[in-house]
Amino acid sequence: MELNIMKTSPAVTIRRTVLAALVAGGSALLVGCAGNPPTEQFAVTNTVVKSAVSAGGPQYAPVEMKNAQDKLAQAENLLREERYDEARRIAEQAEWDARVAERKALAIKAEKTLDDAQKGVQQIREEGSRQPIIVQ
């Protein structure tokens, strides 16, 4: 019986070693990222939710505002359970729901302001078109 041993060149061995090190390092980096609490995302989401509330979200966009607040609460529960990837994803959704609520509230307020201004212009036009009363 003859045993064939395949020989590899030193360059191939070095490439394999470098590739293995890169894969191991990349995997460690990904695992490290997955294990970190999404504190920055939560800070952004909380700021956006507060801004939406200040803009009138609960009054003018109640559905969107409730969605944002419910998702934020859900994300906080996931954070406590150390399910960081899910918490980050839900917090991002809460952020965007709050952004929609804020934009909707601002748009509705702008429409009301425009309507009021148009009514004011109409009243001025009506007053200007009346016949003057001459008192002698």
* Per-residue tokens: 108: 């509705």
Whether residue 19 is contained in a domain is answered as no
Helix axes 39-54, 62-80, angle to 10 degrees: 160
Q: What is the pLDDT of residue 21?
A: 60
DSSP annotation of 81 reads T
Q: Which residue has the tokens 């002698």?
A: 136
> Which residues are within 8 A (CB) of 78 and not within 5 positions of it... i.e. 6 or more apart?
84, 86, 87, 90
Residue 51: which CATH number?
1.20.1270.390
Whether residue 113 is contained in a domain is answered as yes
Specify the higher pLDDT residue, 126 or 53. Answer: 53
pTM of the model: 0.66
Q: What integer is the mean pLDDT of 62-77?
A: 97
Spatial separation of the C-alpha atoms in residues 13 and 119, rounded to whole Å: 82
How does residue 68 score in pLDDT terms, banded at 50, 70 and 90?
Answer: very high
Q: What is the pLDDT of residue 126?
A: 84
Q: What is the pLDDT of residue 132?
A: 72
Contact in structure between 37 and 79 (CB atoms under 8 Å): yes
Spatial separation of the C-alpha atoms in residues 67 and 93, rounded to whole Å: 9
Whether residue 62 is contained in a domain is answered as yes
Average pLDDT, rounded, for the chain: 84
Domain span at residue 111 reads 39-118
CA–centroid distance for 17 within its chain? 41
How many structural domains are present in the chain?
Answer: 1
Whether residue 5 is contained in a domain is answered as no
pLDDT at position 25 over 80: no
Q: What integer is the mean pLDDT of 34-56?
A: 94
Q: What integer is the mean pLDDT of 7-25?
A: 62
Whether residue 100 is contained in a domain is answered as yes
Give, for 24, the enclosing helix (H) or strand (E): helix 10-34
Whether residue 67 is contained in a domain is answered as yes
Spatial separation of the C-alpha atoms in residues 95 and 66, rounded to whole Å: 12
Q: What is the pLDDT of residue 63?
A: 97
Spatial separation of the C-alpha atoms in residues 74 and 30, rounded to whole Å: 24
